[in-house]
Structure 1
Amino acid sequence: MPNPPLRGLGQVPVAVYSCAASPPLASDAERRARHYADARHWLVAGVWTDKDPSVPLGDRLGWSAVTGALSSGLIRGIVVAAASHVSLDAAQFAALGVLVRDRGGFLTEATTESPRRTPGQHERRRVLFEAAAGWIPYGRAVPATPW
C-alpha cells in the first residue's frame, strides 16, 4: 500500500540501517548513510543497527523494525551505507529493492563513488570548453574578411 504524500519540499522521512560486527564499523556506516540522506534533504526518522551480519536478513531485529516503520508509513525509504549490509550480491539487493518498493518505499545505497566516465570523455569535454571559450587550436577556422 503506497504511503500518502507528505507536505513540504524535501521532507522525505527515511531510515538509516546498518549491520556490522563492530561498533566502529556500525558508526562509520551510519555516518555515511546520514551524510547521503542529508545531501538529499531527507529527514532521518530513525537509525537501526544489527550486530551480526551472519544472521539472515529476515531474522534481524533492526531490519524487522525498519520494515515495520515502512509498512506503518513512518518512513518512505531505507538508506544503507553499502549493499553488503542487507544482501550478498547486486541481484539480491535489486530484488530487495523491489520488495521495498512493493511496500510503498525505496531502498538506496549511500554511494560515494565518482560518476562513471566513458573513454575519451575528458578529451571531448576539454575540446568543448576550449571551443566555448573561443580558443581554436588550429588558428582561425573562418578566414579573415578583407575589409
Structure 2
Amino acid sequence: MPNNPIGGLGHVPVAVYACAPTAVAVRDGERRCRHYAGARHWHVAGAWSDLDPAVPLDERPGWQAIASALSTGMIRGIIVGAFSHVAADAAQFAGLGVLIRDRGGFLVHAAGTLPRRTPGELQRRRDITDASSGWSPWGDTPQADTS
C-alpha cells in the first residue's frame, strides 16, 4: 500500500460511498466524493452505494463490499458524501473512523458543496483577469498622466 500521510496528496486508492433514500442524492454524494478525491489526487478504486439509510451499516451490501475491499488492501481510505451516510451524528462518525483506522485505513467525509457555475461566470472571470493584467478589450485607452 502507498505510504502517503492521511490528508496528503498522492496515489492513494480510496472508495466512494453514498447512502441516501433517492438516486439523485446518491449521485450528488458520489460526485462530491469524487471531487474531494480528485482535489487530493487520490485514485477512486470503486464507488458503492445503498439506498436505505435505515438499514444498519454492517448489513448494507455496498458497505460490506467496501469493508471487504479495505481488508484485502484494495483501498486505503473511504470517502463518504456526508456524516449521515454512515452515522447518526459526528460522535458516531468519529467512532467509525477509529474502527477503520484500527484496520489500517481512514474515513473522511467530503465536506462542503461543489462550486457552482453561473451563467456568464466564465466571461466575468476573463474580464477580471484582463483588467488585472492591464489589457483592455477596447484597445488602447488613454492612461492617466503619471507625471
Same fold per TM (> 0.5)? Answer: yes
Over residues 87-138 of structure 1, what are the superposed CA-to-partner deviations in whole Å (9 max), with x where a residue is unaligned? Answer: 001110000000000110000010127xxxxxxxxxxxxxxxxxxxxxxxxx
Q: Normalization by structure 2: what TM-score?
A: 0.71
Alignment of 1:41-120 (within 5 A): 41-112=41-112
SS at match of 1:99: helix
Count of matched residue positions in the alignment of Structure 1 and Structure 2 = 109
Kindly provide the CA deviation profile for residues 67-86 of structure 1, in whole angstroms up to 9, marking residues without a partner as x: 10000000000000101100
Distance 1:43 1:75 in 2: 9
CA distance in 2, matches of 1:78, 1:10: 15
Aligned equivalent of 1:5, options 2, 5, 9: 2
In 2, the alpha carbon distance for the partners of 1:30 and 1:85 equals 11
**Root-mean-square deviation over aligned CA pairs:** 1.5
Bigger-Rg structure (1/2)? 1
SS in 2 for 1:17: strand
List, as ranges, runs of 4+ consecutive aligned residues in structure 1 with deviation greater than 4 Å: none
The CA distance in 1 between the partners of 2:58 and 2:2, in whole Å, is 28
Q: Which residue in 1 is equivalent to 2:142? A: none
CA distance in 1 between partners of 2:96 and 2:67 (Å): 11
Distance 1:88 1:46 in 2: 24
Equivalent residue letter for 2:35: H
- CA distance, structure 2, for counterparts of residue 39 and residue 92 of structure 1: 26
Query: Offset at 1:6?
Result: 5.7
Relative to the length of structure 1, the TM-score reads: 0.71
What amino acid sits opposite 1:44 in the alignment? Answer: V
Match of 1:19 in 2: 19
For structure 2, list consecutive stretches of 5 or more residues without a partner in the other structure.
114-147
Give distance in 2, aligned partners of 1:90 and 1:23: 24
Q: State the secondary structure of the residue aligned to 2:75.
A: coil
Per the alignment, residue 133 of structure 2 pairs with none
3-state secondary structure, aligned to 1:15: strand
- Identity value in percent: 62
